[in-house]
């Protein structure tokens, strides 16, 4: 039974040339997912084509133009139709400007709905950055779009998996920029943002481990001074504020210690430092969470997978986990 007081989850369709429509449809076959207030923000004809491809019979699609028209029942998946795609021109598995623009418009509409509190949280299906850029939307990714549309300056990417969670000081920048741009203030903000989310997920005060950026966390300045100048002062300051945070630790051991349960979250200094261990253990179960926004956003932790799109073979596991996490946090989010 879907209760009225539960938050409405808005799911963006993603790039229609990719696997987004398929994994959304597959996710709704999960009875646990169906028992929530869900609206897909996208194109009805695309979603219907995905349902037909998968020969879905366990639920029906409901085309709506306003959230208020949604029918929230376990056997109904509401599609907020933005009429974005010409199905005669859609090319599965191909980079298309039209698909990039459709993906962007889904995100833009979702942000509008979240700002107006028509939806409580946003779950995003994958987009293709090249297609996005071809359409004139020159963002590095979802996170940067959401930050721009909401005017958010302090935000971070957190990858959540039941066994290991990682939050990043920097993401879509060059490795050189990640090193030269490392600042104590940014590290402190990321620790704070990670603490806020993990406290809700853990139900108590989380333990946070901070990774170094150099081999052996700098070995007291022998392999670099970034730990001494930027990271250690940040950790000490956040400790003084009452956060359970330790480090910096050597990057080659901190993830294993966290996986064994010593900590709840690792603060990674750059994109690959955090992504590699997370994807190694949870490629299909990891969830991308954007923290620092005025609303909660979760996402699959994989791309558009053009090589298998519109073939019916894509795994919905990460989408299912993204929706579950969004539902778990939705009613506690400020």
> ∠ at Cα 131 (128, 134), nearest 5°?
150
23 within some domain: yes
For 255-297, write each residue's pLDDT tens digit: 999 999 999 999 999 999 999 999 999 877 889 999 999 998 9
Same domain, 265 and 326: no
| pLDDT average, residue stretch 174-182 | 96
297 within some domain: yes
DSSP 117-130: TSSSEEEE----HH
Same domain, 305 and 195: no
Same domain, 268 and 164: yes
For 63-91, write each residue's pLDDT tens digit: 999 999 999 999 999 999 999 999 999 99
286 within some domain: no
Interaxial angle between packed helices 184-202 and 232-240, expressed in degrees from 0 to 180 and rounded to the nearest 10 = 50
103/38 Cα distance (integer angstroms): 18
User: For position 6, what pLDDT does the model report?
Assistant: 78
283 within some domain: no
284 within some domain: no
User: For position 248, what pLDDT does the model report?
Assistant: 98
Same domain, 63 and 105: yes
In degrees and rounded to multiples of 5, residue 105 shows phi and psi of -65, -35
Same domain, 120 and 90: yes
Confidence of residue 212 (pLDDT cuts 50, 70, 90): very high
Same domain, 73 and 146: yes
Residue 211: give the domain boundaries.
Answer: 156-277
36 within some domain: yes
Range from 48-52, 160-164, 280-284, 306-310 carrying the lowest mean pLDDT:
280-284
Question: How many domains in the chain?
Answer: 2
328/30 Cα distance (integer angstroms): 16
Domain CATH number, residue 43? 3.40.718.10
User: For position 3, what pLDDT does the model report?
Assistant: 56
129/306 Cα distance (integer angstroms): 12
User: For position 226, what pLDDT does the model report?
Assistant: 96
2 within some domain: no
| Buried b / exposed e along 126-156 (16+ C-beta atoms within 10 A) | bbbbebbebbebebebbbbbbbebbeeeebb
177 within some domain: yes
Same domain, 103 and 196: no
99 close to 16: Cβ distance less than 8 angstroms: yes
Residue with tokens 């200094």: 269
């Amino acid at each position: 039974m879907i209760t009225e007081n539960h938050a409405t989850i808005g799911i963006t369709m993603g790039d229609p040339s990719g696997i987004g429509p398929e994994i959304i449809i597959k996710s709704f076959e999960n009875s646990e997912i169906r028992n929530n207030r869900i609206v897909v923000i996208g194109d009805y004809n695309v979603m219907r084509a995905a349902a037909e491809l998968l020969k879905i019979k366990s639920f029906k699609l409901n085309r709506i133009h306003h959230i208020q028209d949604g029918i929230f029942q376990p056997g109904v998946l509401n599609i907020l139709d933005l009429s974005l795609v010409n199905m005669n021109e859609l090319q599965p598995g191909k980079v298309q400007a039209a698909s990039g623009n459709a993906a962007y418009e889904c995100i833009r509409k979702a942000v509008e709905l979240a700002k107006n509190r028509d939806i409580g949280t946003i779950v995003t299906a994958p987009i293709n950055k090249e297609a996005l850029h071809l359409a004139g939307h020159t963002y590095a990714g979802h996170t940067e779009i959401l930050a721009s549309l909401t005017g958010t300056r302090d935000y971070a990417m957190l990858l959540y998996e039941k066994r290991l969670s990682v939050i990043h000081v920097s993401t879509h920048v060059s490795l050189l920029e990640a090193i030269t741009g490392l600042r104590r203030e940014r590290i402190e903000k990321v620790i704070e943002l990670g603490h806020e989310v993990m406290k809700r997920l853990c139900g108590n005060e989380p333990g946070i481990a901070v990774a170094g950026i150099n081999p052996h966390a700098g070995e007291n300045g022998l392999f670099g001074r970034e730990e001494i100048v930027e990271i250690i002062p940040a950790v000490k300051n956040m400790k003084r504020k009452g956060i359970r945070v330790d480090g910096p630790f050597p990057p080659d051991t901190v993830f294993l210690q966290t996986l064994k349960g010593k900590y709840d979250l690792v603060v990674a200094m750059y994109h690959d430092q955090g992504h590699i261990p997370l994807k190694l253990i949870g490629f299909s179960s990891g969830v991308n969470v954007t923290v620092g926004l005025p609303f909660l956003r979760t996402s699959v932790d994989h791309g558009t997978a053009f090589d298998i799109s519109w073939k019916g073979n894509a795994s919905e596991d990460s989408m299912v986990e993204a929706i579950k996490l969004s539902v778990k946090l939705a009613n506690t989010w400020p």
